[in-house]
Chains A and B, each alone.
Chain A
Amino acid sequence: MMKVPFGYYNTLTIFRKELRSYFNSPIAYVVIVVFLALVGYFHTSTLFLLNVASLRQFFSLAPLTYLALIPAITMRLLAEEKKSGTIELLTTKPLHDAEIIVGKFLAAWALVCIALAPTLIYYITIAFLGNVDNGPIIGGYVGLILMAGVYVSVGLFASSLTENQIVAFIIALLGVATLFILDKILIFVPGWMTSIIEFLGIDYHFSSIARGVIDSRNIIYFASVLSFMLYLSTLSLERRKW
């Protein structure tokens, strides 16, 4: 009898527990405040100079703040459990390793989305100020959410590798920075590789979605990197059995 190694109820239980522990500790509040302060400052400081009713500044800045903030959110996810030994408690309960991974992933992703939600105020305010092209804004938000998903999955994998949160943070930072930088170093790679490297870079896909065109190629990129990282995290959690 083959069973699907996944259940909705257990994943939801893990998800709720993780999200609650973000809000039980200062992490969630610090992340939300820092994120909003950074993007808020740069958004408003140039808005009137440019005199254009758009969120372009916001959409070009948010990915940069992600680079440091998302690793900070994800670093504790598994590293802390390993350090305190609670991972033993969790993995001897009747649930699949994949359920643990997906539950934790969704919780951290949800936290980023919660931090993103108040920025809708920028949209409302500029909509009063002038004519807004809605396409790029919807695309921008979809892109930011997908990008956050990929970064969270990279951070979760980093956290599964070590029991030290600082190490997890640094590995995650390197990982997401690499994804971010790939399509900006094209001049350094040989010609035949450029299109591959460009396709691997996350900003290439983000910018194309943020222009307001949601292409299946971009969606496939985000979905496949994300699932690959979750798969690696599950393997890494199962490493105790090797």
Chain B
Amino acid sequence: MSIAVRNLTKYYGQEKAVDDITFDVKTGEILGFLGPNGAGKTTTMKIITCYMPQSSGKVEVDGLDTLERSLEVRRKIGYLPEHNPLYLDMNVLEYLEFCAQLHGLKNGVLSQRLKEMVDVCGLGDVRHKDIGELSKGYRQRVGLAQAMIHDPEVLILDEPTSGLDPNQIVEIRKLIRQLGRAKTVILSTHILPEVQATCDRVIIIHEGKIVADGSPEQLQQQFQGAEMLMIELKADVGNAMTDILPKLQSLNHVERVELLSSDTNKHRFILHTAKGSDIREEVFNKSVAERWALLELSRRSTSLEEVFHKLTRAEG
């Protein structure tokens, strides 16, 4: 079940919320939509889910146009809107049953799916409670259960973990990973670790435009600066500055060495190395040859967070 977005543009009055966006989502892919608030993530999702039409451009879900075949598209999509709106006066089962009926489920299939969703989303204990009485974490699970009730091929989740505490976030992510298997998923977030934890692919949107598109690893590489290696050595040599530093400096690919701290016989260095190089092995061999004890060795590379900041900082 693929999604194709072509030259999508949306105006709110004079304001351009989405500006000529084009991308594809392949079957089975989990795509993360990343961007600061107001970047156009939610608008794009609202258009894909047929809540509102675009100003120009085209969206196709499984080859069906969202404007011309709206009902069929909506049948294939499970959607969790931003802020997870729910009918607070209904209890969990009533609500899920209502959603299932709107998706045309009946009788045996309906009760089967209800049971499954209650199990998968861990709603067993609260199934007879009013949604208004539930905690945010449980409400989010109800929202996910609602989106999944008809076993849709496409899942669109707008900030599925916003407002949850760290434990709940981990749970919901696990749930999305688990449910998203064999489904096409688009989820939006402005939390970076979330993308790394759940998504196969990331699209970064800024001011209505796509500024980056690729797997989290690809993006990190693409926007990577120099690599850094942090090491801590134990050596019974008198002076770190004169005896150890030049030896590290002489290693291949090393551009610059900094001495961070030096404390009797323990010394910390930062090695700046060429882009894309990995000299951890050489450092290890060198320490063995020099009879230094290598206490710590860690690589620090550009995080997705830095990529994000670089791309979405307001220019000028």
List A76-128 residues whose CB lies under 8 Å from chain B.
84-86, 88-96
- Which of B49-57, B161-169, B270-278 sits within the interface? B49-57
In the bound assembly, the distance between CA atoms of A25 and B130 in angstroms comes to 12
- Kindly state whether residue A9 has any CB partner on chain B within 8 Å: yes
Partner of A24, one of B51, B77, B89, B99: B89
CB within 8 Å for A10 and B102 given contacts A86-B85, A88-B85: yes
B103 on interface, CB distance cutoff 8 Å: yes
Complex Cα distance, B86 from A17, in Å, reads 13
Is B74 within 8 A of A94, CB to CB?
yes
The smallest beta-carbon distance between B6 and chain A, in angstroms, is 20
Q: Which residues of B contact A88 (CB under 8 A)?
A: 46, 51, 81, 85
| Number of residues from A at the complex interface, CB < 8 A | 23
A85/B85 contact (C-beta < 8 A), A92-B51, A241-B53 known: yes
**At the interface, yes or no: B71 with Cβ under 8 Å from chain A?**
yes
* Contacting pair A93 B89 (CB below 8 A): no
> Are A94 and B85 interface neighbours, CB within 8 A?
no
Q: A21-B89, A85-B83 are in contact. Are A13 and B102 (CB under 8 A)?
A: yes
With A24-B89, A24-B90 known as contacts, the answer to whether A92 contacts B81 (CB < 8 A) is yes
A5 — nearest CB in chain B belongs to which residue?
B71
A residues less than 8 Å from B77 (CB atoms): 92
Tell me whether A240 is interfacial, beta carbon within 8 Å.
Answer: yes
Q: Quick check: B74 and A85 within 8 Å, CB to CB?
A: no
Q: Tell me the chain B residues, 135-194 only, with Cβ under 8 Å from chain A.
A: 146
Cβ-based interface call for A20 (8 A):
yes
Question: Are B79 and A92 neighbours in the complex by a CB distance under 8 Å?
Answer: yes
B187 CB, min distance to chain A CBs, angstroms: 16
CB-based contact A20/B74 at 8 Å: no
Known A20-B94, A241-B53; contact A86-B86, beta-carbon cutoff 8 A: yes
Indicate if B104 sits at the interface (CB-CB under 8 A): yes
Q: Are A91 and B51 in contact (CB under 8 A)?
A: yes
A93 touches B99 (CB 8 A): yes
Of the candidates A9, A94, A240, the one whose C-beta lies within 8 Å of that of B71 is A94
Give, as a whole number of angstroms, the nearest-CB distance from A10 to chain B: 6
A89 to B99, CA, bound (A): 9
Q: How far is the CA of A21 from the CA of B102 in the complex (A)?
A: 17
Residue of B nearest to A21 (CB): B89
User: Besides A20-B94, A89-B79, A91-B51, 17 other CB < 8 A contacts?
Assistant: A9-B101, A10-B101, A17-B98, A21-B87, A25-B89, A84-B85, A84-B88, A85-B81, A85-B83, A86-B87, A92-B49, A92-B81, A93-B74, A93-B102, A94-B71, A94-B104, A240-B51
Query: Which B residues fall within an 8 A CB radius of A?
Result: 46, 49-53, 71-72, 74-75, 77, 79, 81-83, 85-90, 94, 98-99, 101-104, 146
Which A residues contact B (CB, under 8 angstroms)? 3, 9-10, 13, 17, 20-21, 24-25, 84-86, 88-96, 240-241
- 11 A–B contacts from the bound complex (CB under 8 Å): A10-B101, A85-B85, A86-B86, A88-B85, A89-B85, A89-B146, A92-B74, A92-B79, A93-B102, A93-B103, A240-B51
